[in-house]
Structure formats: structure tokens, C-alpha cells
Amino acid sequence: MTTETTVAIAVPLEAEFVERIRAVDPSVTVLYEPDLLPPERFPADHAGDPGFKRTPEQEERYWDMLGKADVLYGFPNESPAGLARIAKENPRLQWIHAMAAGAGGAVKASGLDAETLNKFKVTTSAGVHALPLAEFAALGILNGFKRTAELAQDQAAKVWPELRTPTKLVNGSSLVVTGLGEIGLETARIARALGMKVSGTKRSVEPIDGIEEVADNNGLAGLLASADAVVNTLPGTPYTEKLFNREIFAAMKPGTVFVNVGRGTVVDDDALLEALENGQVAYACLDVFAVEPLPLNSPLWSHPRVMVSPHTSALSEAENRLIAERFCSNLRTFLDGGELPHLVDTVHFY
């Protein structure tokens, strides 16, 4: 006898992708009420319009719909508080698929205890964002090598320098990627296509095709001595907290380009600013910060050799399609009793 599985769509999603989820298996019932979901302001706006308010009747319908589900597509209201509420109110809940690649922070912020978290699984959309993040990392490297920040300043001041300054070739240069997971390996692929030699770090040190040298975080300083650019893709965990400190920045050779598309907590901002001032870091392209939004008094906003991106480098117009495709694949695995990929570690929360 086929077991029925009920999936509830908790976040904004186009109807065409809902139909793809329905088509995974006849045993799947999908609950989808778009009038209960905030309208998207842009493609893949998972939180939706913050001005959207449900009526009391709609609010009751929303939580009643989620309470009937075995599986949720997205955190309720795309928030830790929504996750905490549904985890306590829905005893049949078996699995939630998060929109974010780094959903561990939201799971931790929900404040749920270990016993409750063990009652269901949370998967992330890790990998879906690998290509846009890798493209952004390439942008950061090219910006640094081609001095685009200085060009923009000269353009704004209408300055045509009497002495032209050469730029660096990306081809033949060396890159270190911290975190050779899906994002790191996609970054490495693009970097190699540009002619770069790539080394990097991984928790389990093992040879990787196309990677010159692999080390763990303890060996990071040794890799940096010959690196022309460094891209961080590491998540925020107790083990990566301020990994990029004064010692690590001091291990870089002068003029290194630094890009962060991982988590802001991996970088000691004071140490980064010192490295920018003393020339160890020539340029920094930053999409993530320890405190977000970046405080108005942060020197990073106005630093002439820093690009500040508001944690948007993972966004792309294709994101909803890619996440829905990933969810459909995971749903097939779930129905077949397989092991779901990209599970949130509820001990270290990544």
C-alpha cells in the first residue's frame, strides 16, 4: 500500500515549480495556497514583500496548512521563529528543505533543543548557489588584479593619470580557496579556466583533481605564502571563527587579493583593515560580514580598496528553478527511503 506524503509550500514559489513537485510521484499531495504567501519583489525573493500581512483568517489557514505536512518547502515565514513554531506544533513533520545554502545559522537561531531537532531533518540548498558565488568570486579576483576600484575613483574625479599603471595577469597566478566543497570547487573550476593554479583547504586532506595542493586549516598559512588571491567559502562555525586573523593575513604575500563569499564571522575585520593598510591585502571583495547589515560606522564602507556587497552574490534569476529541481531530486530520494544530501549538522549548525 502506497504511503501518502504531504508537502506544504511555506514560502513564495511560482506555480510552474509547484507543479514540478507534484509530478515527482502520485503519492505526493502538495498544499499550495499562493494567497497566503507574500508576493516576491524580485526572482527568488523567498521572504517576500515585508509589507505583506495576512488577515487573522489567513494566518490560521497558513499554520493549519503547514500543520498537515510531512514535508515543508521552506521555513515558515522564512524565519527561525517560524521554524521553532512548526517544530513544536506539527508532530508529523519529517523533513524541511531550506532555501539557503547556509541554513545552519537559522536552525541554531530557532532555539530548538536537541531532542526536538532530532525529530525531523533539515536539508539546505547547498550547491544551488555554487555557480553564482563562484562567478562573483571571479569578479572579485578580476577587480583586484585589474584595479577597477582605482579606475572608478579616477573616472569619478575625471582624472587621466599621466603615468599609466600596469595591471596583473590572472593567467599564471596562484589562488588559494578555503573550503573545497561545492562552492570552492566551482570557484576553482572557473579560476583554472582563467589560467590560475589553485590550492585550497579541506577538513579531510586528500588529493583532488585539478588542485595543486590540499591542506587543512592548520596548513593554511603555508599555502598563502605563494598565493596571489584568496577566496573564502567556509561556513561560520566555532572552528572557523576569525580564522582569518592577524597571523593568517601576515602569512599572505604583499598585494594579495582577498574575496569572501563564505561567512563574515570567518574574518577578523580589524585584522583585515590592518592588512589593507599595510599592503598585505591589495583589494578585498566582501559579500558577507560578521554583523549584517554592515554597521554604518564600519570603515569598510568607505575604504578605497574594498567592495561591499550586501550578501547578494548567491542570488540569480534561476534560483527558484534550481532550488525546486534540487528539492524534487531530494523528494524522490526521501520517498525511496534514501539518505538525504546536505543535511544541517544540528551540533555544529552548518
Q: In residues, how long is the chain?
A: 350
| Start-to-end CA span in the chain (Å) | 37
Domains of the chain, each with CATH number or no CATH: 5-127+316-335 (3.40.50.720), 130-308 (3.40.50.720)
Residue 1 confidence (pLDDT) above 80? no
Q: Specify the pTM.
A: 0.83
CA angle, 157 then 159 then 165, to 5°: 125
Run of H or E including 306: strand 306-308
Q: What is the mean pLDDT of residues 204-221?
A: 97
Q: What is the mean pLDDT of residues 59-83?
A: 98
What are the catalytic residues? 263, 292, 311
pLDDT tens digits, 148-186: 999 999 999 999 999 999 999 999 999 999 999 999 999
Residue 2 confidence (pLDDT) above 60? no
3 state SS of 166: coil
pLDDT tens digits, 228-271: 999 999 989 899 999 999 999 999 999 999 999 999 999 999 99
DSSP H helices, the chain, are 15-22, 56-67, 80-89, 104-109, 114-117, 130-145, 148-157, 182-193, 220-224, 246-251, 269-278, 319-335
The closest of 278, 269, 255 to 308, measured between CA atoms, is 269
